[in-house]
Amino acid sequence: MTEETAPGDNNKTVDLSNYSRIIGLEGLVSGRYSMHFLAQLYAESMLIGRLNPARVIQEIEALEGIRESTTKSPTQFSRLPLKGLWHKHHTVDGIPSLAMNIKNGLKRHGMPLFQQMIQEAKEAGEERYVSPEDVPALVNDIVSGNLSRRRAAKEETGEWIVYAVHEEQNYYLCLGTHKTKDAIIRHDIEKNCTPQFPFLKDILAPLNQ
């Protein structure tokens, strides 16, 4: 699939097929990704610059049984309008994603180093205070420590790869975010993916259920 930019854009040619080969998508799941999914990957990584395609490819490799994932396990949508489809998290760069994972890490794991310091003070029968020298280690444990613990527990969160399972194979349909309304994702899939993969008509649950 090839698209050309306007002459005013230095006559650059966007070759999505070549892009798919470069990032490893074509060699990994040839014939099982939508052109919509590929166009989203290209736009998010090459035009907007907010997505590292390697993060998405890593999660597809995990779904294909090639590698381990550090993000949450794949989940099937149980409610309309996406009922019948699946999604898998992929990590993204940026402060919002980092903050969300740290926040979730604090909820799940707390501050182990700080708790250890409190326990040591109790056992010593001493009243101790946090000193300026303690702060770097405590911050590192809250940030890097909790991120490492989430990766080890395969709990990292991020944005979505939305896919369908057909005849025991995964078909990658689109990218999604927590802020994207499910109805919009459903509309995009019906409009852009169903013509390429007609079996989606049998997978997508009727909206009038």
Q: How would you classify residue 24: left for phi > 0, otherwise alpha for psi between -120 and 50, otherwise beta?
A: left
The residue type at 183 = A
List % helix, strand, coil for the chain (3-state, nearest 5).
50, 15, 35
What is the average pLDDT across 135-160? 67
**pLDDT tens, residue by residue, 4-38:** 343 334 333 358 989 999 999 999 999 999 999 99
Domain boundaries, the chain: 2-92+158-203, 95-152
Q: How far apart are the first and last CA of the chain?
A: 37
Structure tokens at 139: 């911050």
The answer to whether the peptide bond before residue 132 is cis (omega within 30 degrees of 0) is: no
- Residue bearing the bigger pLDDT, 155 or 67: 67
What is the average pLDDT across 65-86? 92
pLDDT (0 to 100) of residue 146: 57
pLDDT (0 to 100) of residue 136: 78
* CA pair distance 87, 163, nearest whole angstrom: 6
Percent of the chain scoring above 90 in pLDDT? 46
- Residue bearing the bigger pLDDT, 141 or 173: 173
SS3 193: coil
What is the CA angle 97-104-170, rounded to 5?
Answer: 65
Task: Give domain 2-92+158-203's CATH superfamily.
Answer: RelE-like (3.30.2310.20)
Percent of the chain scoring above 70 in pLDDT? 75
What is the average pLDDT across 78-101? 79
Best CA proximity match to 162, nearest among 191, 136, 182: 182
pLDDT (0 to 100) of residue 170: 98
* CA pair distance 27, 144, nearest whole angstrom: 34
* CA pair distance 134, 126, nearest whole angstrom: 17
- Evaluated on CA atoms 196, 202, 205, 209, the torsion sign reads positive
